[in-house]
Structure 1
Amino acid sequence: MMDRRSLLGATLLGTLARPALAQPGARPVTLVVPFSPGGPTDLIARRLAVSLGEGLGQTVVVENRAGAGGNIGAEFVARSAPDGHTILFGTSGPLAINRMLYPGQPYDPVKDFTPVAPLGRIPNVLAVNAGVPAKNVQELIALAKRERLSFGSSGNGASSHLAGALFNSMAGTSIEHIPYRGTGPALNDLVAGHVAMVFTDALTALPHLQGGRVRALGITTAERSAVLPDLPTVAEQGLPGYDASVFFGLVLAANTPDPVRERLRSTFATVVAQPEMRKFLESQGMQVAPELTPAALTSLMVTETNRWARVIREASVKAD
């Protein structure tokens, strides 16, 4: 028989092993999207929320907290109670890049979050106006060294801006950056020929590509995209190592207990492994991460921070 001390210890351990997140019927879980409704991040989050809720036995509610490149939503989660009821569906910006773009950022992505797992990456596509004579990346580089070209982006400091800055750095070109207030206006000016090229997510570009108004020259991830499987990567076309994609991952507030994090991580991994979920994610251009672990997300956050710091510094990139 257990003595009173052993019994008390066993009781406390049992309490810790049954965190609030794991209790069916407990209060709803909030999945914070640090961007406005309607974009690809929001769309994926809402699909994940339904399946996560089913797996956890709780309601998972998506809450959009947009602003400052994702920093407002991220700070909200960083300052939330570390009980697993508030989750950030973060991207490269708030989880890595923003700390170099926003002086005085009010949270530290590494110290103020408990990483759960990465989801994967969505690539950008390098697309040019149909009138641009270049048919591949090498021809585009040669053209840019002969003529003055410009590329549009969804705004200063956006992934589409950084993709162009990295391209200039690796290709030795000086293609002028033209920032817009969103992807739509940038694509409109690409179609009209006011800018020669853009870097944008494949799904957004697809209708324009199918209509023949713009032409895709390359995918910006290390591997080809399932959305455009026949399109070679930029890296394949003479810029080895070029990778300008957006990564996604789940984090909780710092000091969230390990049992709470593991419950969420395990459920998340099960959800992502479902065939229907995989098919949906791939239809959104998502390249699912090979390892859905806290260590994999931490490594990704640190690597991306270090990789983009040099590009931001050399190109003097400033956020809007």
Structure 2
Amino acid sequence: MLNKLFSFLLLGAGALYGLAPAVAADSFPSQPIKLIVPFPPGGPTDALARRLAQGLSKPLGQSVIVENKAGAGGNIGSDYVAHAKADGYTLLFGTSGPLAINISLYKNLRYDPRTSFTPIIRIGHLPNILVLNPKVPAKNLQELIAYAKQNPDKLTFASSGNGASSHLAGVLFNQMAGTHILHIPYKGTGPALNDLLGGQVTMSFTDILTALPHVKNGTLRAIGLASAERSAALPDLPTLSEEGLKGYDVSVFFGIVAPKGTPEPVVTKLNQAFVQAMSDPDVKSTLASQGIVEADDRTPHGLATFIDKQVPKWAELVHSAHISLD
């Protein structure tokens, strides 16, 4: 009799345990959610994250708090999320660096973007643009390439740091154009832009949001978009691929991921909330004004597939250029 009672209690406990994830998912979210931005405040990634966080509060019924955990090219914040509790309350606002490039750049990375996270949604991408200091006597891509080859010691390109997408953009440009333009790394986009405007460096591959005001007022000259398609922000500016560098694309993408093992019902709720937030007219207007090209595929599987393709793409470039960061 006691054995039967004990077995019954065990079965009952097992049934309740099996229901626990479903119950937790039904009540999700019951507290504020942290959206980790692995970069300092004030940049385009931070601005985009904060605008989306505002739009998420309505569909989720909870506030979404943006928290900056910057350092090591985005690795500190990304590692924090990778090792957080897989309950949907800690998310990463990832970019090309931590979600595709850094796995090839850093020798001792403690996470893998393909296996350490549960994908939620791909937000879209921000096109990069090649801009020159107006003192450079080149009006288009072919003139720039010709000038670079005739004057191998005169041109330099600024980046936001070693291993950043703006650095790799220049590496790829040199490879495809057959040039040897010198790389000058800075600690962030702001210092790089200041020296470009001041003439200490001659060119840069920066995001269109940062460059647009300077292109419009003539303090920088736009040569071409470093993306696969033209931008609504500068519809008459051709892509570098159109101008002769076929297939050139170094856009920065944005994606939301959670720690590996986040329950599927929670992932579904988060994905639906992001889709709803991005469909809000005010949010869509903000994304467009920042030059963001929204992703066509907003499913978790779509982001997973995209990351799987991006990792080897950047790995090939990093390894061919022998770039390595500790």
Instruction: Specify the TM-score bucket, using the shorter chain as the normaliser.
Output: over 0.9
Distance 2:161 2:13 in 1: 57
Deviations 1:109-167 (A, max 9, x none): 11110011100000111001101111111111111111122111111111110111111
Q: When the two structures are superposed, what TM-score results if normalisation uses the length of structure 2?
A: 0.91
> 2:271 corresponds to which residue?
265
The sequence identity of aligned pairs, in percent, is 54
Matched, 1:147 2:137: no
Matched, 1:37 2:41: yes
Q: Which one of the candidate residues 277, 286, 304 is aligned to 1:298?
A: 304
Distance 2:19 2:284 in 1: 35
1:80-91 matches, cutoff 5 A: 80-91=84-95
Tell me if the contact between 1:169 and 1:311 (Cα under 8 Å) persists in the aligned partners: no
Q: Which one of the candidate residues 24, 48, 53 is aligned to 1:19?
A: 24
Matched, 1:287 2:287: no
> 1:70 corresponds to which residue?
74
> 1:3 corresponds to which residue?
none
Q: Which has the larger radius of gyration?
A: 2
Alignment gaps of 5+ in structure 1: 1-5
> 1:275 corresponds to which residue?
281
> 1:161 corresponds to which residue?
167
Distance 1:169 1:21 in 2: 52
Distance 1:96 1:120 in 2: 14
Deviations 1:239-277 (A, max 9, x none): 111000110001010011110101101111111122221
Q: How far off is 1:177 after superposition?
A: 0.7
Change (3 A) 1:118 1:21: farther
Distance 2:298 2:144 in 1: 37
Change (3 A) 1:287 1:74: same
Residue type of the partner of 2:226? T
Residue type of the partner of 1:87? L
> 2:241 corresponds to which residue?
235
Structure 1: 4+ residue segments shifted above 4 A: 6-15
Tell me if the contact between 1:113 and 1:252 (Cα under 8 Å) persists in the aligned partners: yes
Alignment gaps of 5+ in structure 2: 1-10
Q: Which one of the candidate residues 171, 182, 201 is aligned to 1:176?
A: 182
Deviations 1:216-244 (A, max 9, x none): 01111101112222211111100111000
Distance 2:112 2:128 in 1: 27
Distance 2:274 2:24 in 1: 16
Deviations 1:20-76 (A, max 9, x none): 58546x121111111111111111111111111211111211111111111111111
Tell me if the contact between 2:33 and 2:62 (Cα under 8 Å) persists in the aligned partners: yes
Residue type of the partner of 2:24? P
Matched, 1:135 2:139: yes
Q: How many residues align?
A: 316
Matched, 1:53 2:67: no
Secondary structure at the aligned position of 1:236 is classed as: coil
> 2:323 corresponds to which residue?
317
Distance 1:164 1:247 in 2: 18
> 2:222 corresponds to which residue?
216
Q: When the two structures are superposed, what TM-score results if normalisation uses the length of structure 1?
A: 0.93
Deviates more, 1:246-255 or 1:221-230: 221-230
Distance 1:264 1:19 in 2: 14
Distance 1:232 1:215 in 2: 13
Matched, 1:199 2:205: yes
